[in-house]
Amino acid sequence: MEELAWRRPSACGDGNNCPEVAIAPDAVYVRSSLLPDAIAQLTPDEWRDLVSAIRAGEFDA
């Protein structure tokens, strides 16, 4: 796998339990800072759908 530039939300600060995202030309990679070797690969369309669902509150308890 190519070297990825991982980013995390600014709200996480230096926390160790944060989502991290790396955006490549043809894929979006998502992982947890607690399990950095467990990486999910999404297509750009899947990523857009996920972000839209989060913003719409579809995962709120």
Count of domains in the chain? Answer: 1
Region 1-5: mean pLDDT is 81
* Assigned domain for 5 exists: no
Spatial contact of 19 and 8, defined as CB atoms under 8 Å apart: yes
pLDDT tens by residue, 28-42: 999 999 999 999 999
Residue-level pLDDT at 1 = 59
Our measurement of the distance from residue 44's CA atom to the centroid of its chain's CA atoms, rounded to an integer in Å, reads 12
Residue 5: pLDDT over 80: yes
Q: What angle do CA 8, 12, 16 make, to 5 degrees?
A: 90
Residue 7: pLDDT over 90: yes
Residue-level pLDDT at 15 = 75
* Assigned domain for 47 exists: yes
* Assigned domain for 29 exists: yes
* Assigned domain for 44 exists: yes
Which long-range contacts link 24-31 to residues 24+ away (Cβ below 8 Å)? 29/4, 31/6
Range of the domain at 32: 10-55
* Assigned domain for 3 exists: no
